[in-house]
Chain A
């Protein structure tokens, strides 16, 4: 099969949100000697772009977007080691430290965001739920993060987002990181009040926002 046919198949399998089909297409391409980086850049990512467009105009729904992203992630498990072998480490768009703030155990939205970040080429350190403010700050310093992304679903835990920004200021670190917030309890106005660099209404928008912030 010609490379172009492989790329079509890879792209289509992502659009079909079919993990088995994606893995089969990846293996077939590798067997034919297509390079791992080309499989991603010319096959899988164009598929994800179509998925993104379909999601934006509600042709597909969130579970379909998630399945496509999960299929992509499964392919990356095979492809990433090969890229490393070839020394052609994929360029990451940026480093994200992600978590749900102190007192809040809600993880589902945050996990959706993590998946979308990873499929969009960001490197993510997920601190999980109920994250203390200093965990955010320390991890961001440790990995030299570009963005700290904080979620809160409960209105009573919102202040945790402000606390992180205040702690960054106290340590003279505020300008070293972009801080974005999201989650059911947050609003754009809250983001402005606490001096965050951005707010997103959904995981999908958070990725677009992050790409803008690091570019």
Chain B
């Protein structure tokens, strides 16, 4: 399929050059001293007093070309491994919301490790999702187990790749230890690292932080999978033009990519982003606005130019319930992304601009994800698909309904939605006028009432629980009510 291109070839090149100019003349503020050493050693100009790093264009060009063309997410079960762009678009849940909309009371509250276990089970079963990025925090985390209380229930209840971040190095080491226990040892884990790490070390505009940069460097040195997201916000952390925002975000992507290649040549990356335009009436964050989709589409084009996979947090919403806004923000933006060739969609399950997870929203987003994947397949042009023999066989005035040709393709040509209404109005009235939220929540309940086949065996669980004393239970439970 041909992807939508918002920029001409010359405009892409100029955007790239403009980003090089920013890196060379404005530079990046790097707060983590060892990162500055890496930059210094590989040809950047570093001012240790201010922390400012300037990148000669030739240095950026040399290292950014070392980034390989694909990135692999690994799950506990290898059949769920996904490599982008070839297996794309892959759909990922939104992550690290502090709250959850309680599926019984409908009231937003702090999320717990039990919620994470339930969400992991749900995502494991929903076919539209490929990667479980741990959707919430765990408010019940015991002291010293902030991240463990998220990764343990997530990994225990989901065979698909699990992805998330950690706030500090102690947590990161703990989480990798957990991965090694699951894999059966350090070596086995190095072969198949099943925890997929993600950080935002670039703080717009043009700044590298300490904690996330340290984590990215540590993981990159060890060859463990990690990718980063750039997050420019027009009007606050980037200029109030989409092009200026594209340039700032692109310079940031180049800086962190070059950094990772300097640490270890050939480290896989993703051009991932969450570009937004702040609502200038109040300064409000607006990740569901259409401008996010436009910018992400342009970044997909730049990523194509750089030969790396792309995507990011697209399809988020500012809405607080499963209303029309929630649907149009997730739907319109993800369509813009996939038609431009983005193959990573961090879209599922969150309301209120990343503040709260909602079970029904995740089920709705699963359906949107299936539509996005269908849109990405496009028309599937082929001689066979022109179906000329079939057109001739049926002839004028005939029907295709009872044909073998139709029967053999009826489940693959079109998305068969479970939630979208296709019945007549009277049928809908008779069913008590169910909303999309009602239907989605019922589907979440149905799934979570089933036993979870993904949970690992008792022997492994005992080993993990012995290693990490006081660990949360991490078990999924059917939704009440």
* Interface residues, chain A, with chain B CB atoms under 8 Å away: 58, 61-63, 103, 105-106, 108-109, 112, 130, 155-159, 184-185, 187, 189-190, 193, 202-204
Contacts and interface: CB of A to CB of B under 8 A. Distances in A.
A189 B109 contact: yes
B165 A106 contact: no
B205 to A, nearest CB: 9
Given A62-B280, A193-B110, A103 B167 contact: yes
Contacts of B237: 108
Given A156-B137, A202-B284, 17 more contacts: A58-B281, A61-B280, A61-B281, A62-B280, A62-B281, A63-B235, A103-B168, A103-B211, A105-B210, A109-B283, A155-B96, A155-B354, A158-B137, A185-B98, A189-B99, A189-B108, A193-B110
Nearest to A108: B236
| Chain A interface, DSSP helix/strand/loop, else mixed | helix
Given A105-B31, A189-B108, A190-B98, A157 B283 contact: no
Interface-central residue, B109, B282, B284, by most chain A CB under 10 Å? B282
Nearest to B31: A105
A109 B282 CA distance: 11
A187 B285 CA distance: 14
B206 to A, nearest CB: 12
Contacts of B96: 155-156
Contacts of A204: 282
B280 to A, nearest CB: 4
Interface string B279-303: 0111111000000000000000000
Contacts of A109: 283
Interface of B: 31, 96-99, 108-110, 137, 146, 165, 167-168, 203, 207, 209-211, 235-237, 280-285, 353-355
Contacts of A202: 282-284
Contacts of A189: 99, 108-110
B280 A63 contact: yes
B355 A187 contact: yes
A156 B198 CA distance: 13
B280 A155 contact: no
Q: What 9 A-B pairs are tightest by C-beta distance, nearest first?
A: A61-B280, A156-B167, A62-B283, A105-B209, A155-B98, A105-B203, A155-B96, A61-B281, A108-B236
Contact of A155 (B109, B137, B168, B210): B137
Contacts of B165: 156
B334 to A, nearest CB: 22
Contacts of A157: 167
B282 A130 contact: no
A103 B32 CA distance: 12
Nearest to A205: B282
Contact of B210 (A106, A130, A190, A203): A130
A78 B302 CA distance: 49
A156 to B, nearest CB: 4
A62 B282 contact: yes
Interface-central residue, A62, A103, A112, by most chain B CB under 10 Å? A62
Nearest to A157: B167
A199 to B, nearest CB: 13
Given A61-B281, A103-B168, A155 B97 contact: yes
Nearest to B203: A105
Given A155-B96, A158-B98, A190-B98, A105 B280 contact: no
Contacts of B209: 105
Given A63-B235, A105-B207, A189-B108, A203 B167 contact: no
17 contacts: A58-B281, A62-B281, A103-B211, A105-B31, A105-B210, A108-B236, A108-B237, A155-B97, A156-B137, A157-B167, A158-B98, A159-B146, A187-B108, A189-B108, A189-B110, A190-B98, A202-B283
Nearest to A62: B283
Given A156-B167, A157-B167, A203 B283 contact: yes
Contacts of B98: 155, 158, 185, 187, 190
A58 B167 CA distance: 37
Nearest to B136: A155
Nearest to B210: A130
Given A63-B235, A155-B98, A193-B110, A106 B167 contact: no
A119 to B, nearest CB: 16
Contacts of B108: 187, 189
B168 to A, nearest CB: 7
A112 B353 CA distance: 21
Interface-central residue, A158, A190, A204, by most chain B CB under 10 Å? A190
B272 to A, nearest CB: 17
A187 B108 CA distance: 11
A63 B279 CA distance: 10
A202 B284 CA distance: 8
Contacts of A62: 280-283
Contacts of A155: 96-98, 137, 354
A113 to B, nearest CB: 11
Nearest to B150: A156
A92 B116 CA distance: 48
A98 to B, nearest CB: 17
A197 to B, nearest CB: 20
A27 B109 CA distance: 55
A189 B96 CA distance: 17
A63 B137 CA distance: 34
A63 B280 CA distance: 7
A184 B203 contact: no
Nearest to A109: B283
A158 B97 CA distance: 11
Contacts of B167: 103, 156-157
Interface-central residue, A155, A189, A204, by most chain B CB under 10 Å? A155
A170 to B, nearest CB: 15
B387 to A, nearest CB: 51
B202 to A, nearest CB: 10
